[in-house]
Amino acid sequence: MKKLMILSILIMFGVFTLTKPVHAEDGFTELTSEAAVLMDTQSGAILFSKNEEVKMYPASLTKIATAIYAIEKGNLNDQVIVSEKVLNIDGTRVYLNPGEQVTLKKLIQGMLINSGNDAALAIAIHLDGTMEKYSQHVNEFLESEIGVEATHFVNPHGLFDENHYTTAKDLGMILNYAMKNKDFREIFATKQMKWDGESWDTTILSHHRMLKGEIPYPGVTGGKTGFVDQSKQTLATTAENGRLKLTAILLKSEYKRKIYDDTIKLFDYGFANFKSSQIRKGEEFISGKLRFISQADTFLTEPIAEGKRSVDSDGVLSIEKGEGKVIQTVELKPIIKKKLEVKNTTQKAEQSGVLSLNSIVGGILLLLAASVLVLNRKQKRNRRYRSR
């Protein structure tokens, strides 16, 4: 709550330059997945969306949130003692033994690369002790640090629970936030890893077919898969082409191959139509006679063709494509001209008072001196009269 209050105050006084993600263009609707979002990884601009704010079940895409929460709130070098509760977990495992000691980083790797539900549970218990506290703390983290609005997680792995839900948009925001972290990017991009555990000695492999190269696509930088019966196929993928970084979230597809096809369509559309640029801290913008300034380095998503920048009288910078279709907006800070300095008259007033007092005292002294002079003259006259 304190963080939210501080953020509100900083925004009120224009300390931050805010980037507001907006929809760019729904250029096609033939995706088979029920919900989808394509975002610029750096600016957060939404370039394509389908049911992006509809409540959905994320399955193992939940582990993206668990990973960045663990990286930021824990110590990657911590030795985690695996809880006995991992024996009761369903689904994919890395076959941890109760009492086994594993570093937090290795657990995150086993969770993201091999989608180990036992690793996810071990992480949550290590960080917060119970599922109830984990749920409370991870939801607070996602709301206060990332700004999600329609997400509620009750477990760290994504096994079905009707109270465990999110949206394509929120997942895109979570992944974009996570991609700012170097440790997360490294693990998210890992295709395979040697796993040396007490009961499992193997090489774990990513389940993401585009990341592994089984479905070739240039520039893929990371990926996570998910599946439970209620959510169907879910997929999160990042990619870049040298001038743009993209995040794609696809939810509830009936077929695994179709969800990859949807991802490729989104990436093809994004890379063909948009590029990334940046405005620098201190850069000035003009709207009529008004001048505005950027308070921070800020990423923009701009059309490759027919792009336009405009600033309105409120200081909102809009990035437009074609006939006024807004891709992104950024709030700028007005430049306030320096007002004429008003001189402080308090000191002068005090000085005037001192001068006035000095004048009064001086006047009294002059009167006294004059009186003494008159008295002396009278005394001299009296002496002369007596001498006669």
Alpha carbons within 13 angstroms on the beta-carbon side of residue 296 total: 13
In what helix (H) or strand (E) does residue 121 lie, and over which residues does it extend?
helix 117-128
Low-confidence ranges of the chain (pLDDT < 70): 1-29, 337-388
CATH: 3.20.20.105, 3.40.50.150, 3.40.50.300, 3.40.710.10. Which one for 57-230?
A: 3.40.710.10
The confidence score (pLDDT) of residue 244 equals 98
The confidence score (pLDDT) of residue 166 equals 98
The confidence score (pLDDT) of residue 352 equals 46
The confidence score (pLDDT) of residue 354 equals 45
The confidence score (pLDDT) of residue 310 equals 86
Let me know: does 166 contact 148? Beta carbons within 8 Å: yes
The confidence score (pLDDT) of residue 340 equals 52
The confidence score (pLDDT) of residue 379 equals 59
Let me know: does 18 contact 331? Beta carbons within 8 Å: yes
Let me know: does 250 contact 234? Beta carbons within 8 Å: yes
Q: Which residue has the tokens 């998210």?
A: 188
The confidence score (pLDDT) of residue 309 equals 87
The confidence score (pLDDT) of residue 10 equals 41
Let me know: does 283 contact 71? Beta carbons within 8 Å: no
Q: Dump pLDDT digits (tens) for 153-186.
A: 999 999 999 999 999 999 999 999 999 999 999 9
Q: What residues contact 162, with CB distance under 8 A and at least 6 apart?
A: none
Residue 153 identity = F
> Taking the domains of the chain in order of start, what are their residue ranges?
57-230
The confidence score (pLDDT) of residue 321 equals 83
DSSP symbol at 344: P
Strands (E), the chain: 19-21, 35-40, 46-50, 79-81, 101-103, 192-196, 201-205, 220-228, 232-240, 245-253, 274-279, 284-287, 290-293, 298-303, 307-311, 316-321, 325-331, 333-334
The confidence score (pLDDT) of residue 175 equals 98
Instruction: Quote the pTM value.
Output: 0.81
Tell me how many degrees the CA angle 335-338-344 measures, rounded to the nearest 5.
150
Euclidean distance between the first and final Cα of the chain, in Å?
A: 105
